[in-house]
Structure 1
Amino acid sequence: MAVAIFLAVGVAFSGWVAFGGDGDTRYRAAPLPGLDESPSPTSAPDVPSPDDLPTPGPETDGPSSAPTDVPTDLPGLPSPSATPFGTPSSPALTGGDPPAGYSTQSDPAGFHLAVPDGWLRTVEGPSVFYTSPDDSTMIQIFELHGPEATPYESAREAERLASRHRGYEQVTLAPLGTAAMDPVQLEYTYDSTSDGHRRIMDRRFAAPSGTMYAVLVIGPSGDRASEQEIHRAALDTFCPTASCIAP
């Protein structure tokens, strides 16, 4: 089962991504290679060993919401035409009916979303997880509270950290629009010692309140269509509790 860990106290939570490792049955939100996972030969030196890494937890120094003075557009962003699925638009963030085989979860962490029936909820640090019965696939949700001011900046930092992992290959890093606070899709694969080739689908976006979120699906790299479906269902129905209008 894939796991992830926190590299250092100073690393911003908005850059967290999920990685796999051996000998553990839980995922953690964290920026760098998991327990017992060897980083790629190009990894930066002096990365702390797993025994030196702190317990995952939210950052307290970063802003809790996006600033109001960010630019309305970011020149030089890659074209949103490379989106992996769906139309380049912001999530409705008001909830929606779950598709067949899914149920809407009113999560105690303060949001609603649809997850496949029978999946188990767990919490690791600041992240909420919904895991498939066979432990092969999971949804991960967490708020972004780091220094990065926009979803794109957060995704770029997550991609930078993810690229240090063994077998990393980027599939896409695409803003879903041209405004600074539009959502961003990051997708990549990497090699897990215990679970083989893994795929991460990571959408980062801002709620009307300014709070930014990441919603990830982590699973086997060969199940992309299934993982897209799970990710789409979660995103189409996601809403902060205060914004939900659907039953």
Structure 2
Amino acid sequence: MSPEPSPSPSRPPSPGGSYRSTAVVVAAALLAGAVAGGVWALTRDDDSGNRDASGGTTPSVTVTATAPPSDDTGAPQDTLGGSESPLASAYASPSPGFSRSVDGLGFTVDVPEGWTRTVDPRGDKPPVVHYTAPGGDAELEMFELQEPSPADSLDQAENDPSFGFGTRLHGYQAVDREAGTDWAELTYRYDDVEDGPTEVVDHRFTAADGTSYAIRSIGAEGTDVATPSQIAVGSFCPSGAACTVQ
């Protein structure tokens, strides 16, 4: 549905309030244990139970690298367990209709229930995680940035003469721009060859651990691409950080 992300950055969304993640120092013993055990998990957990694309209930899944390790994309293994991940989120529990993913690439994020996770390794560039709707008509893309700042990354992604989507995409039009000291956001539309009019909210930001990321929400023009973006950004929390809503 979407063009390939730029080779490498959130104002947490403003409707209803401002979100900001704050890092906390994790005890040395906890860090040592996490490194030694290599533990990470993929969970989908909420108060009401989760449903997969067929309407069935999806159990929480904890994945540990002390069993067979993950591949180089961070894709989870099939080892099941019963413990919660130690990672914190900006929210105590996912919003209705969303599930919490503790992603193998080192962060937690809330995504719509039933969406499927895949990873694009991209060689020596940071991999792109895709969460895609069952019908394939909407998705969230997430990846680590390599540019000096979120604003620089977004500017290059839009305007670089060799790969900028501002010149490559047919019917491209910027709809809205916003920015702050550690985030930048661009909403735009374009005409996709296969899927028709498409809208994107491209949000790039510095997370609680000081690493910059992009979260891109993509869907058909006229559908709600803002809500998945807002919830993903507000719930995003890197490994080893505790994130809160302010």
Q: Give TM class, smaller chain.
A: 0.5 to 0.7
Q: Which residue of 1 aligns with 2:132?
A: 131
Letter in 1 for 2:232: A
CA 209–85 in structure 1, closer or farther in 2 if over 3 Å, else same: closer
CA 208–244 in structure 1, closer or farther in 2 if over 3 Å, else same: closer
Q: TM-score, normalised by structure 2?
A: 0.61
Matched, 1:188 2:188: yes
Matched, 1:118 2:114: yes
Q: Which residue of 2 aligns with 1:101?
A: 97
* Correspondence 1:41-190 to 2 at 5 A: 85-86=14-15, 89=18, 91-92=20-21, 95=89, 96=91, 97-125=93-121, 126-145=127-146, 148-160=147-159, 161-164=164-167, 165-175=169-179, 177=180, 179=181, 182-190=182-190
Cα distance, 1:90 vs. partner? Answer: 5.6
Q: Deviations over 1:110-136 (max 9, x none)?
A: 110111111111111210011101100
Structure 1 stretches lacking a partner, 5+ long: 7-11, 16-79
Cα distance, 1:86 vs. partner? Answer: 2.7
Residue 141 of structure 1 contacts residue 214 of structure 1 at CA under 8 Å; is this kept in 2? yes
Q: Which residue of 2 aligns with 1:217?
A: 217
Number of paired residues?
166
Local SS of the residue matching 2:99: strand
CA distance in 2, matches of 1:218, 1:112: 20
Residue 84 of structure 1 contacts residue 172 of structure 1 at CA under 8 Å; is this kept in 2? no
Taking only the aligned residue pairs, the percentage that are identical comes to 33
Local SS of the residue matching 2:205: strand
Q: Which residue of 1 aligns with 2:63?
A: none
CA distance in 2, matches of 1:138, 1:91: 24
CA distance in 2, matches of 1:116, 1:84: 17
CA distance in 1, matches of 2:13, 2:111: 20
Cα distance, 1:231 vs. partner? Answer: 1.0
Residue 90 of structure 1 contacts residue 183 of structure 1 at CA under 8 Å; is this kept in 2? no
Residue 208 of structure 2 contacts residue 243 of structure 2 at CA under 8 Å; is this kept in 1? no
Structure 2 stretches lacking a partner, 5+ long: 23-87, 122-126
Cα distance, 1:89 vs. partner? Answer: 4.8
CA 84–212 in structure 1, closer or farther in 2 if over 3 Å, else same: closer
CA 234–84 in structure 1, closer or farther in 2 if over 3 Å, else same: closer
Cα distance, 1:4 vs. partner? Answer: 2.9
CA distance in 2, matches of 1:117, 1:213: 22
CA distance in 2, matches of 1:184, 1:90: 14
CA distance in 2, matches of 1:158, 1:228: 20
Residue 110 of structure 1 contacts residue 241 of structure 1 at CA under 8 Å; is this kept in 2? yes
Letter in 2 for 1:134: G
